[in-house]
Amino acid sequence: MKTHEENIQFYLENGGDHKIANRHKLPTLQNRAKISYLISQQKPKESITYQDEEKKYQDVSESNKEEIQPTKPAFIGFISQYPTELHSAYQECYNAWIKVCSYKIQLNDVVPLDVEDAYQLQLKIFKSISKFDRYKNSLDYWNENKRILPTESKKDYSKFTPLELDQERRNLASLICRRKQTIEKKEKELPVKSDPNYNKKYIAIQFKKEQLEELILDENKIVTILKSLATS
């Protein structure tokens, strides 16, 4: 899947408006959808981002149709293989995928010239894919490590002023950047599995990844609040 920055670059390279690109520079859900839509209208036409996301799971869809059946969603397994703490994440993941499929079908039925309806459906697809990825990541993390990766922010920002929220967002962005660098460094230093210290160092890295996810969720929560305040 291409990053938002790569999509902007592609948009500009194919004659896109620099002012529009700058106005939609931040990788918010709406900006990603807007740039993707503009790309879809350019010549040569390239598949938009939500289609890249759909392709990410297409192999599973084609090889095992049970994935869209409530009795056996093959792409996330059975709920019984997860601890009770992840059962809500399991349900949210499955529901999000069903919404992606539904919105995609609706998008296929939109009249070609009905730009606004198509755009709104693309936004819904992006939002559902983002939600699906978040919960699926947590389920995959459990299957691989038998550890729980958080899926929701537990921080209460209700008493923060907009200025405090923005400052906290900046602090979190800095912490996230440093934590990613630390994890990358530690992963490069990880010894071979036969090393006596492997398990200890591996678990330490996983713990840092869980902390990183908490920071990212907190940052996303603040961005959502700030966006809500800006439009209210």
Q: Mark residue 77 as left, alpha or beta (left: phi above 0; alpha: psi -120 to 50; beta: remaining).
A: left
> Of 74, 79, 107, which Cα lies nearest the Cα of 92?
79
What single-letter amino acid sits at 144?
E
Q: What is the pLDDT along the chain (232 residues), one digit of tens a residue?
A: 467 787 888 888 888 888 888 888 877 766 777 777 777 776 554 444 444 444 544 443 444 333 334 444 567 888 999 999 999 999 999 999 999 989 988 988 887 777 888 888 889 999 899 899 989 999 999 999 999 999 999 999 999 999 999 999 999 999 999 999 999 999 999 999 999 999 999 999 999 999 999 999 999 999 999 988 888 7
User: Which residue type sits at 119?
Assistant: Y
CA dist 48 → 22, 119, 187, 232 (Å): 19, 12, 33, 30
- C-alpha triplet 148, 60, 136: angle, nearest 5°: 20
DSSP string, 117-179: HHHHHHHHHHHHHHHHHHHHHHHHHHHHHS-PPP-S-----TT--HHHHHHHHHHHHHHHHHH
